[in-house]
Amino acid sequence: MEFSEVVRRRRMIRHYSDKPLAPEAVERILASALRAPSAGFSQGWAFLALTDPADRARFWPFVPTRTEQTPTMQDAPLVVVPLAHKAAYLERYAESDKGWEDRAEARWPAPYWYIDTGMAALMMLLSAVDEGLDACFFGIMPDHLEPFRTEFGVPEEYAPIGGITVGYRADDVPPQGSRIAERRRGAAEVVHRGHWGLHS
**Residues forming the site for ligand FMN (CB under 6 A):** 11-12, 14, 137-139, 162, 180
User: Each residue of 162-184: b (16+ CB within 10 Å) or e?
Assistant: bbbbbbbbbeeeeeeeeeeeeee
Q: By C-beta, is 108 or 138 nearer to ligand FMN?
A: 138
Q: Write down the least CB distance from residue 196 to ligand FMN, Å.
A: 25
Q: Write down the least CB distance from residue 122 to ligand FMN, Å.
A: 8
Q: Write down the least CB distance from residue 168 to ligand FMN, Å.
A: 17
Q: By C-beta, is 74 or 92 nearer to ligand FMN?
A: 74
Run of H or E including 28: helix 23-33
Query: Are 106 and 184 spatial neighbours (Cβ–Cβ below 8 Å)?
Result: no
Q: Write down the least CB distance from residue 66 to ligand FMN, Å.
A: 6
User: What is the four-CA torsion angle of 66, 67, 70, 73, rounded to 10 degrees?
Assistant: 90
DSSP state of 35: T
Q: By C-beta, is 20 or 37 nearer to ligand FMN?
A: 37
Radius of gyration, CA atoms only, the chain: 19
Q: Write down the least CB distance from residue 143 to ligand FMN, Å.
A: 14
Cα 90 to chain centroid distance, Å, stands at: 22
Residue 180 CA to residue 79 CA, distance in Å, equals: 25
163 bridge partner residues: 138
Q: By C-beta, is 42 or 117 nearer to ligand FMN?
A: 117
Q: By C-beta, is 14 or 169 nearer to ligand FMN?
A: 14
* Per-state percent for the chain, helix, strand, coil, to nearest 5: 45, 15, 40
Q: By C-beta, is 12 or 159 nearer to ligand FMN?
A: 12
Q: Write down the least CB distance from residue 128 to ligand FMN, Å.
A: 12
45 bridge partner residues: 84
